[in-house]
Structure 1
């Protein structure tokens, strides 16, 4: 059309259909997949039946993504405070508490993991990885949304290339054991377990990772129809789960080895076990470090978005780029220091309780109240503190 300004790559179909899922998997992958530890706990330990948990995870991630995207489109909720007000009204501060506690725990784990992985794969000092995490994440917050979107998009290309290469090497090396595990229905690491309990473990894992969804909300402004939300949500579910399956089948190459399944960082043990070239270890360290930066960036960016909305509501100026960078660095350093003083250990003991809080405050409401609001298309004028919106149909 003449006179119409050409849209950029991120403003077209890519931004509407793929970008939200890319942002979600970017935040999830560092916290859940970088070490391989969570894939053991939430699937691989069940051996031949572990893939069932993966199916539950795929369905769960996709359903929550579709509903989150559609609620955001209808109610113009592009930060988690606005979203949660639509779902649970005056109880929204409870979500704030749960999110901040989970964020502190996740960042502390990310900082510790980044230091360990960089040290073990490149030989650099532990604190080099921690400093890199703080510096790069702070820089991303300074330059804002556009750079974050691009960093995490290119990060996804790097991460998928890395995961495909690393898992390919491991699976090719151990394909005979994978075949044996599946053929004999080996579940020796945990003992025989039914299909439904394994499937439920997948659902629980989705609940544990509900805190990643706020990280994509700022990118949802581009979505204009229900079709875009549904397709984008389904793609998000797939993008979020592919690394899970790649890691699962890699772990099956060694099942039921306690050396691998019992390791703090199973991926490092697997890479060392196949005698990969030295360059692969360095590349693995870079890829894993990137995932940890993406996760830290995502959870902090979501919090800053919520703070800016709160400032706007009381007629205050939003945080500038410098303030956002400074707050990010303070959060990262504080989380690292608090972990040394044992505060994180206290939070970690309540990790399951926090996760169940997310189920009560986000999963259950979006599956009930959220679905009701989507179907009824209630006018947002009824929801205090959120701007009115014309409800569009496909």
Structure 2
């Protein structure tokens, strides 16, 4: 399997998965909130719904980006929404602040747990690594994200095998605890909308795609790639259902029950890496948006912008209470992405693919 094939069909999925896992289901908490609270069977149904939405939306986005050569979110959204494109940018920046602030806090806690050093040092380490990776741009990001995705998949598979070999009976019995009074698709729609809302940040990787067929297939695969680790973790969480519903960090409960300290150590390192990936993906997406307007942006400026966004999101936003305010509006943000991004993509975007009404953004 050559590198061109991987870049066309698998790289976008690896980068999408890298974007969502650090700010999403890496700790297992979002899987509990959006899926497991509905019950084991309904949870799997909601996951299937989310996967279908991801694949469908990504397939359309990749083809629109490819056909119009719009490889960053500013030009992509301007054509999609017209004069209303700034609404998406506001939502994007709000999403960045929320995700990065949570990610920064979690990074500090993980490094503290592993090495018993102050949380602030963990945050600083994360910021330095993000700034360094952003400095070198798309080429390094694509290579690192692909490598870390393979490592992440390997660790998740090992965790699932360990959990299943020990708690297979418990996992099987959990499906009999499904309540009939639950939601079967709403959780999947909300989860898909929240995570897919930041997808335009990864359009830089679509440059490798040359045909409509490649774009569609790549998008469909990307949705599945993004959900497979979540599926493995969801099944692992069932080993402690329903008490895992109240766990602040569900994955830690699973790892503690296994009693496999070395796996917990490795998992925490991998999870820390996913936080870095998510930060890099969001900030690089913003940098690509700036480059579209100011092509002379230097690598040092890229790194400086990244560090500035991290500082604003992790320290300033928390200090002024902005993160708490955004967190309270978490559901509103989800519906905002659905209305401003997802629905326009599957209506306007799909129409333009089918009827070729012109897509490429012409710079003013």
Shorter-chain TM-score tier: over 0.9
Of 326, 344, 350 in structure 2, the residue corresponding to residue 347 of structure 1 is: 326
| Separation in 1, partners of 2:185, 2:115 | 38
Give 1 or 2: higher helix fraction.
2
| Separation in 1, partners of 2:248, 2:292 | 39
Matched, 1:371 2:364: no
Identify unmatched segments of 5+ residues in structure 1. 1-7, 312-316, 387-394
| Separation in 2, partners of 1:165, 1:55 | 23
Identify unmatched segments of 5+ residues in structure 2. none
Tell me the equivalent position of 1:272: 256
Deviations 1:164-193 (A, max 9, x none): 1122222222211111112x2x13xxx533
Tell me the equivalent position of 1:60: 53
| Separation in 1, partners of 2:35, 2:45 | 8
- RMSD of aligned residue pairs (Cα, Å): 1.7
Does the 8 Å contact 2:92/2:198 carry over to 1? no
Once the two structures are overlaid, the 10-residue window that deviates more, 44-53 or 83-92, is 44-53
Of 29, 44, 47 in structure 1, the residue corresponding to residue 21 of structure 2 is: 29
Tell me the equivalent position of 1:310: 293
3-state SS of the aligned residue for 1:339?
helix
TM-score by length of 1: 0.88
Tell me the equivalent position of 1:178: 171
Tell me the equivalent position of 1:221: 207
Matched, 1:74 2:74: no
Deviations 1:49-76 (A, max 9, x none): 2110111011011101100001111111
3-state SS of the aligned residue for 2:39?
helix
TM-score by length of 2: 0.95
| Separation in 2, partners of 1:13, 1:193 | 45
Alignment of 1:159-308 (within 5 A): 159-182=152-175, 184=176, 186-187=177-178, 191-194=179-182, 197-257=183-243, 260-276=244-260, 278-308=261-291
3-state SS of the aligned residue for 1:109?
helix
Tell me the equivalent position of 2:30: 38
Q: How many residues align?
A: 362
Deviations 1:318-345 (A, max 9, x none): 3100011111111112212122442210
| Separation in 2, partners of 1:128, 1:250 | 31
- Post-superposition shift, 1:384? 5.0
Does the 8 Å contact 1:47/1:255 carry over to 2? no
Once the two structures are overlaid, the 10-residue window that deviates more, 344-353 or 32-41, is 344-353
| Separation in 1, partners of 2:37, 2:359 | 45
